[in-house]
A and B are shown apart, each in its own frame.
Chain A
């Protein structure tokens, strides 16, 4: 039910992002989804890749600060109001969304959105109870 995301700390300077994508490319790691949060001085690059171990190893070896976080991949109906319905379920259960970003691939007819929750287990329970489809990590890495 949980997906492993990798976050990388980047200083806000030219080439920082290019360097990360180059390292991953050379190691044969494929990025499935990504999001970049920015501040004036630094950014946090969040990645879903097809080989977490490899990614952490090659990035770590280059001296980058890498961290593993558990997130949830949710299937969202690909129509207006699709995301709003999901968020309604969460807010009614009192669950806070820290951030989210979309997946490039679709799962059948549905969009896939990566969610980071402050209370991941409660979030998964609340969504499952309302029959919201959650994707397995294994499935997500290989999409």
Chain B
């Protein structure tokens, strides 16, 4: 089902004319109200009025996570805080979160985009949506929630955790749609099996999965074990949250990007050059309808390809391939973004600990695990076991408090973690996604 038939099937010329109009309006808005953008554009000798065609967009500088951090928390908002009705945040590269804001209209836009996404995934008004994305600062939970209500479906705000109860509620409440991370879906399948519950006896029909990368192989496994259709959804809080791209249930090949709200580019991550359709590179988005926090040419660090071929679902917007990797060192652990540099800053803040560490990421029983190996040195070494155990627990607690992710800390002998010239290898990711 297409939620917004007019805008999801616009002929290309009309779509591109609309994009250009909205782009210029957005550039004018940020130039006039965001000191960061005014300075940047002036430095490049650019004015919003210089944009006469979509091709002129590539002349504008990129925006990165670092820029958001340098303007933490609200420095890039275009409106006073009174007009911001929602604030969300996601991980930053160090201690500070990446903060995003929404006006009332932005919340409505987001809900519309999520309604489009759910509809594209085969969700209807009479569905019961079991929403196990995390509710809170993370945009997943509330993103799906508002989209579900906009669509008119019945949403159960489960959030994550309490997995046995989730299965019982799926049975008793008759959930027909599941929304959560793909690894959590597989975890729920295990829990159900332990409880002797067969998904064939549940009313679940379709699942909308995202917030972490997942493969076709994983899709097959989810579809088989949960007896549903599994659909990929894409988004990032800086752009709006989930709802930037969605697979259609008709084709399940590539995610439709809502181009009337976001202009998508693929660039070479090293040179910044814009690449043509069909070539793999880093996804860059420009928001053209957001009010509180529009971003121009935001580098997502996600690697993908854009395909312009028309889709059998009838949508005319471009499709992006499932994200195949990152152009930076960010990890996604149980749906949470984690930068190795964040772990480093935790270690550096603990007296005596030197930041010689190694992150072991694995997936045990469908849930991601993070183990941090930290070298002991003479400053922290005590002759008593309880002191070293307390140190391990302290590091675990700091990581949990700062990053929201549970890590197991293992103290190791000094000089056992490889040193290297230049960038040290900090992460060993054993997951085979």
Contacts and interface: CB of A to CB of B under 8 A. Distances in A.
B380 to A, nearest CB: 9
B385 interface: yes
B414 A63 contact: yes
A-B residue pairs, 4 tightest by C-beta? A7-B383, A69-B383, A63-B415, A65-B381
Contacts of B388: 9, 39, 42, 44
A42 B389 CA distance: 10
B414 A65 contact: yes
A71 to B, nearest CB: 9
A10 interface: yes
A37 B385 CA distance: 7
Interface residue range, chain A? 20 to 34
Contacts of A10: 413
B222 interface: no
B425 interface: no
A33 B416 CA distance: 28
- B-side binding surface: helix, strand, loop or mixed? loop
Given A65-B378, A66-B378, A41 B383 contact: no
A64 to B, nearest CB: 7
Contacts of A69: 383
Nearest to A68: B383
B384 A41 contact: no
A116 B382 CA distance: 13
Contacts of A5: 383
B385 A9 contact: no
Contacts of B384: 44, 98-99, 116
Contact of A41 (B378, B381, B382, B411): B411
Nearest to B413: A11
Interface in A41-99: 41-42, 44, 46, 63-67, 69, 98-99
Interface of B: 376-378, 381-385, 388-389, 410-416
B331 to A, nearest CB: 23
A5 B389 CA distance: 21
A65 B377 CA distance: 6
Contact of B383 (A16, A42, A44): A44
Given A65-B378, A67-B382, 20 more contacts: A9-B381, A9-B411, A9-B413, A37-B385, A39-B385, A39-B388, A42-B376, A42-B388, A44-B383, A44-B384, A44-B388, A63-B413, A64-B413, A65-B377, A65-B413, A66-B381, A67-B383, A69-B383, A99-B384, A116-B384
Contacts of A46: 383
Interface of A: 5, 7, 9-11, 16, 37, 39, 41-42, 44, 46, 63-67, 69, 98-99, 116
Contacts of B415: 63
A11 B377 CA distance: 13
B187 to A, nearest CB: 25
Contacts of A7: 381, 383
A65 B376 contact: yes
A29 to B, nearest CB: 18
Contacts of A41: 410-411
Given A67-B383, A69-B383, A9 B376 contact: yes
Nearest to B382: A67
Contacts of A65: 376-378, 381, 413-414
A44 B385 contact: yes
Contacts of B378: 65-67
B329 to A, nearest CB: 26
Nearest to B408: A41
Nearest to A71: B383
Q: Which of B376, B381, B389, B414 has the most CB of A within 10 A?
A: B381
Nearest to B416: A11
B396 to A, nearest CB: 13
A66 B416 CA distance: 15
A67 B376 CA distance: 12
B352 to A, nearest CB: 12
Q: Which of B384, B412, B416 has the most CB of A within 10 A?
A: B384
8 contacts: A5-B383, A7-B381, A46-B383, A63-B415, A65-B376, A65-B413, A65-B414, A116-B384
